Each structure stands twice: as structure tokens, then as C-alpha cells.
């Protein structure tokens, strides 16, 4: 309410209509395709956490000896686990793609007085992804 | 092209109704008509009690925003013939309280806009004798896109964070704050930072990005907010190195 | 310089973790969870892996790989709970659960990599 001295309260009962407020449904995120894509992107963080847990399990198993590590490898071969990991990989790649498309939005790089186009900011990210993946693969595959 | 088209329009009368209901109208389908023309036809010829906001009818005032088939649109910029063959559902903008029919209560947005301090803030004023503040085209280019906002609140109707948490300051207010932060004539970035680098400000945004999709002026509020997040985070980390405030 | 909301810190961690996750997780997950178990590619022997893991630089690399992405998850999942399940009133519990989980994971990673 405006209580500035230039606006004294009026000398009559103000008419205040009853506003209608619609409550937002718990399933708001199913309302449109962009919303669904958004929630899927957010759920990809679960794949990220899953990867960390998996990696920690691997490191633990390594420390426990060849036998325990072999048991973990056996567990990883089960079809259900393979399926789960395939889904996790899909979400991990989804995270990568959405992350590289989002990063240029936060970085307004200006060169020579003009804004660098978004693909030019995203490109080095993709290059780093390919390069880093190649390095990791080299470390793990040449033995 | 068919002769007529059906519109389903949300009606809400606070005197009689508990909640809104859809009412069907049949209007002529003229090739050059926009949804706003159909609404004015109904008001003139069919039901004079239909209540809605509009003004410039050319996409610059931001008054006529409504949900058309579930998407926030300026009704003066949305052609009727695009919906030929289907019913057109016109409802008030989402996530705002409804006053009557298609009119929303936007004082929450007005208050939040003020918090962003969308005006030039100077710590030191130049004396008049020294002339005006000059700006190069490059300096203008850094903030021009964010200055195109017409305060239509379509972005608020698209933002699920605003819909779920009415404390969130929202896309337009944050984009306009960034417009002034980037203006070379402005010295108020610090002042705005204190108000907006806040859980209800910039940190409430989860970059859904729908605000940018629906903006009729291509302001890209999502981009403005992500840039502001980076700026605010940098500011926070720098303030760790300079203790004492 | 007066300090603004601490959410900036968590967003910084979220960004760092998200970048590490985006660049490194796909190749690691592809190799260890699909290519090696399905025998598309030859897996390194137990001995070779142990030699690798014992290198100080690899320990640091794995620590970063396991810690930062957890903070990325913590921040993002916190907001998913706010908006997806609309349980923002459980703010303190969610905050503790998410970042606490990330801290716990980091501690486990640190201990495992120190003692292996």
C-alpha cells in the first residue's frame, strides 16, 4: 500500500476484488516439452553422482586385492548393470552437450568491440572434451 | 480459409465466481487479424463485459500479454489464422493472480523491478558545464540487447521458478539490472549487486531458459542472468581476498 | 567490499564440478562401464591399474574427478528438490543432505586414495 504523504488514504471504502491464484501443479514440468527437457537435464546430475560412487567402488576394490576387483568386474558384466550404465552414459553425454551449450551464455566474450558468437565459445569446450578423452583412453588402453 | 474460428476464453468475475471457467465465442477469421482483434470484436459486438489490457497494438507497450494455447504471447503480435482449424484458448498470463477475466495483478513485478534499480546510478555527477556523458557505439552494443525489454512479463509467465517461489525476483528485473550494470555511464553495479546477488535474486535461477524463448523483443534474459551469476561469483571470491568490506 | 550471498561459492563449485564432469565422465564411464565389461576393448590388468593408481599425479586426478562432480550434483539436486518436488520448506534438511553428501564422498575419496 502506498503511504506517501502525497497520496493520503481515500475517504471511501476501497474496492478490492478477490484475486484468483492458481496453485502450480506438482507435475508442472510435464506441461511442455522445454520443461521436460529441463528436468531431464537436471536429473543428469544423478548420473554424475552415480559415476562417482561407481569410481569410488572401483578404487576400493582395487585396494582390496585382485580377487575383490575381479568380483567387481564380474558384477559390471551383468546385463542389468550394463543397461543401467548405458543409461548413465546417455545422461552423462546429455550433461556434456547441454553444459557446452549453456557455457557461452555466461561468458560474454568481446573481441574487437563485437560479441564473439556462441559457437566460437563452445568450440574450445568440445575440443577439450575430445582431447581429454583421447588422453585418458591412451593411458588406459596402451597397457 | 474458413469463415469463422472458435475462441475459448477464460472468464473470471470476482463478484460471482469461485474460479475461472472457459467461455466459447465464434469470431470472423480475417487473414490480417491478430488475437487482440478477435478480443476487441467480442467486446464490441458480443459481450461488452470481457475484460483485458491492451494499448499500442503493435508490440511495443507490453500490455496485451496472455496465454494462447498454453504459451505466453503478445496477443497483438499473434495472427489468428495460424490457429485455423483448432480452437484458440486464451487465458490470463500464468503465475500471476487474476483480477478479472484476462487481467493479471502485476504489482509484484513492479516492486521487483524497483529492487533492480533500473536507472543510471552515479556516485559522482559531472558538472553541467562539462557536457553530457558520451558513449561509443561499441559501449552501447554491450548492453543494447538487454535494453529492449518492454516489461510485458511474458518471461515471468514462462519461468517455473517464479511460478513456484513468488519471492524470486524474476527474469526481466534481473536482465534490466544487468542492462544498467553494463552501461558505461552507470556507477551503480555495487549497489545493485547487494540487492540481487541473493538467493531470491540471481541465485534462484536454474537456467530453464524459457524466459528467453518467449521474449518478444529477443532480450535473452537467461543470458543476462548467467552473465550476472558469473559477475556475482567473481565479486564474491574477490571479496574474500579483501576482508573488512 | 561488502560480501554478498554465499550461494556464489556453491555456484562456483557447481560450475567447476560441471565442467570436470562434462569433459571427463563420458570417456571414463564408456571405458569402465561398457567397453571393458563387454570386451569391446582390452582392459588393463589388475597390476597395471594398481601401478597407475599409485602414481601421486593420478591420485590427485582421481580425487578431483570424484570430488568436484559431487558438488555439482549437490547444488543441482538441491534445486531439483526445491522446484521438482516443491519441498523448499525442508530447506535445511535438503542443504545438509546434498552438500553433506558431497563432503562425505570427498572424504571417502580422499581416504581411499591416500591409503591405496
Question: In this complex, which chains have at least 3 CB pairs below 8 Å with chain C?
Answer: A, B
CA dihedral sign of residues C76, C81, C87, C93: negative
Could you tell me the end-to-end alpha-carbon distance of chain A, in angstroms, rounded to an integer?
Answer: 74
DSSP conformational letter for B2: -
Q: Which residue of B has its CA nearest to A34?
A: B210
Backbone angles phi and psi of B89, in degrees to 5: -100, 120
Q: Which residue of C has its CA nearest to B200?
A: C5
- Cβ of C18 within 8 Å of Cβ of A95? The answer is yes
- Output the CATH code of domain B4-104: 3.10.20.30
pLDDT for residue C1 is more than 70: no
Q: Does C88 touch chain B (CB under 8 A)?
A: yes
Digit-coded pLDDT (tens) for C87-114: 767 788 899 999 999 999 999 999 999 9
Q: What's the CA gap between B244 and C4, in Å, rounded? A: 13
pLDDT for residue A39 is more than 80: yes
Residue in B95, B177, B203 to test binding to C, most C beta-carbons within 10 Å: B203
Q: Does B98 touch chain A (CB under 8 A)?
A: yes
Residue in B206, B210, B227 to test binding to C, most C beta-carbons within 10 Å: B206
Fold (CATH) for B107-241: Fumarate Reductase Iron-sulfur Protein; Chain B, domain 2 (1.10.1060)
DSSP conformational letter for A78: S
pLDDT for residue C40 is more than 80: yes
Predicted local confidence at residue B242, as pLDDT: 79
Fold (CATH) for C7-115: 3 helical TM bundles of succinate and fumarate reductases (1.20.1300)
Digit-coded pLDDT (tens) for C52-96: 999 999 999 999 999 999 999 999 999 999 887 777 677 888 999
**Domain ranges for chain B:** 4-104, 107-241
**Who among C9, C83, C88 is closest to B236 (CB)?**
C9
Q: What's the CA gap between B82 and A84, in Å, rounded? A: 44
- Cβ of C30 within 8 Å of Cβ of A55? The answer is no
Residue in B209, B213, B214, B231 to test binding to A, most A beta-carbons within 10 Å: B209
Digit-coded pLDDT (tens) for A82-124: 999 999 999 999 999 999 999 988 888 888 767 788 888 999 9
Provide mean pLDDT across the span A13-24: 85
**B4-104 and B107-241: same fold?**
no
- Give C-chain residues touching A137 at CB under 8 angstroms: 27, 31
Q: Model confidence at C116, in pLDDT bands (50, 70, 90)?
A: confident
Higher pLDDT, A71 or A1: A71
- Cβ of B233 within 8 Å of Cβ of C5? The answer is no
The C-alpha cell at C44 is: 588393463
pLDDT for residue C51 is more than 80: yes
pLDDT for residue A33 is more than 90: yes
- Cβ of C115 within 8 Å of Cβ of A26? The answer is no
Contact A91, B208 (CB under 8 A): no
- Give C-chain residues touching B205 at CB under 8 angstroms: none
Predicted local confidence at residue A10, as pLDDT: 73
From A55, A69, B41, B120, select the one nearest C28 (Cα to Cα): A55
Predicted local confidence at residue C82, as pLDDT: 86
Provide mean pLDDT across the span A9-20: 80
Predicted local confidence at residue A4, as pLDDT: 67
Tell me which residues of chain B have a pLDDT lower than 50.
245
The C-alpha cell at C78 is: 538441491
Predicted local confidence at residue A143, as pLDDT: 58
Higher pLDDT, B38 or A26: B38
Q: What's the CA gap between A23 and B93, in Å, rounded? A: 14
- Cβ of A24 within 8 Å of Cβ of B100? The answer is no
Predicted local confidence at residue B6, as pLDDT: 96
How many helices (H) and strands (E) would you count in chain A? 4, 2
Amino acid at each position: 500500500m502506498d503511504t506517501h504523504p502525497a497520496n493520503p488514504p481515500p475517504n471511501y471504502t476501497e474496492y478490492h476484488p478477490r484475486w484468483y491464484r492458481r496453485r502450480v501443479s506438482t507435475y508442472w514440468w510435464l506441461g511442455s516439452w522445454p520443461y521436460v527437457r529441463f528436468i531431464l537435464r537436471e536429473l543428469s546430475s544423478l548420473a554424475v553422482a552415480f559415476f562417482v560412487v561407481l569410481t569410488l567402488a572401483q578404487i576400493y576394490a582395487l585396494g582390496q586385492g585382485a580377487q575383490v576387483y575381479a568380483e567387481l568386474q564380474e558384477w559390471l558384466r551383468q546385463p542389468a548393470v550394463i543397461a543401467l550404465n548405458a543409461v548413465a552414459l546417455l545422461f552423462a553425454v546429455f550433461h556434456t552437450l547441454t553444459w557446452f551449450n549453456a557455457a557461452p551464455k555466461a561468458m560474454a566474450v568481446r573481441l574487437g568491440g563485437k560479441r564473439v558468437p556462441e559457437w566460437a565459445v563452445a568450440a574450445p569446450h568440445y575440443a577439450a572434451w575430445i582431447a581429454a578423452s583421447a588422453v585418458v583412453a591412451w593411458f588406459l588402453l596402451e597397457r | 480459409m474458413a469463415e469463422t474460428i472458435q475462441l475459448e476464453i477464460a472468464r473470471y468475475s470476482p463478484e460471482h465466481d469461485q474460479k475461472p471457467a472457459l467461455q466459447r465465442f465464434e469470431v470472423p477469421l480475417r487473414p490480417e487479424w491478430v488475437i487482440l482483434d478477435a478480443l476487441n470484436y467480442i467486446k464490441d459486438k458480443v459481450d461488452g463485459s470481457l475484460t483485458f489490457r491492451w494499448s499500442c497494438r503493435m508490440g511495443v507497450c507490453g500490455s496485451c500479454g496472455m496465454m494462447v494455447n498454453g504459451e505466453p504471447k503478445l496477443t497483438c503480435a499473434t495472427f489468428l489464422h495460424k490457429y485455423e482449424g483448432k480452437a484458440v484458448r486464451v487465458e490470463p498470463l500464468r503465475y500471476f493472480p487474476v483480477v478479472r477475466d484476462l487481467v493479471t495483478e502485476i504489482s509484484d513485478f513492479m516492486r521487483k523491478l524497483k529492487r533492480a534499480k533500473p536507472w543510471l546510478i552515479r556516485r559522482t555527477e559531472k558538472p553541467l558545464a562539462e557536457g553530457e556523458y558520451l558513449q561509443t557505439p561499441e559501449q552501447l552494443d554491450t548492453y543494447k540487447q538487454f535494453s529492449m525489454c518492454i516489461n510485458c512479463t511474458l518471461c515471468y509467465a514462462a519461468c517455473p521458478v517464479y511460478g513456484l517461489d513468488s519471492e524470486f525476483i524474476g527474469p526481466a528485473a534481473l536482465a534490466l539490472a544487468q542492462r544498467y550494470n553494463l552501461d558505461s555511464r552507470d556507477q551503480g553495479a555495487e549497489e545493485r549487486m547487494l540487492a540481487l546477488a541473493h538467493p531470491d535474486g540471481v541465485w534462484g535461477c536454474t537456467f530453464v531458459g524459457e524466459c528467453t524463448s518467449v521474449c518478444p523483443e529477443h532480450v535473452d534474459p537467461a543470458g543476462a542472468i548467467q552473465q550476472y551469476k558469473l559477475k556475482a561469483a567473481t565479486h564474491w571470491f574477490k571479496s574474500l581476498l579483501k576482508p573488512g568490506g | 567490499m561488502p560480501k554478498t550471498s554465499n550461494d556464489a561459492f556453491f555456484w562456483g563449485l557447481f560450475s567447476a564440478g560441471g565442467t570436470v564432469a562434462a569433459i571427463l565422465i563420458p570417456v571414463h564411464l564408456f571405458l569402465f562401464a561398457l567397453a571393458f565389461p563387454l570386451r569391446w576393448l582390452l582392459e588393463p590388468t589388475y597390476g597395471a591399474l594398481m601401478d597407475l593408481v599409485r602414481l601421486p599425479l593420478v591420485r590427485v586426478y582421481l580425487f578431483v574427478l570424484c570430488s568436484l562432480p559431487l558438488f555439482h550434483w549437490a547444488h543441482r539436486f538441491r534445486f531439483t528438490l526445491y522446484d521438482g518436488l516443491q519441498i523448499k520448506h525442508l530447506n535445511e534438511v535438503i542443504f545438509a543432505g546434498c552438500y553433506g553428501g558431497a563432503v562425505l564422498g570427498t572424504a571417502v575419496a580422499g581416504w581411499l586414495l591416500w591409503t591405496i
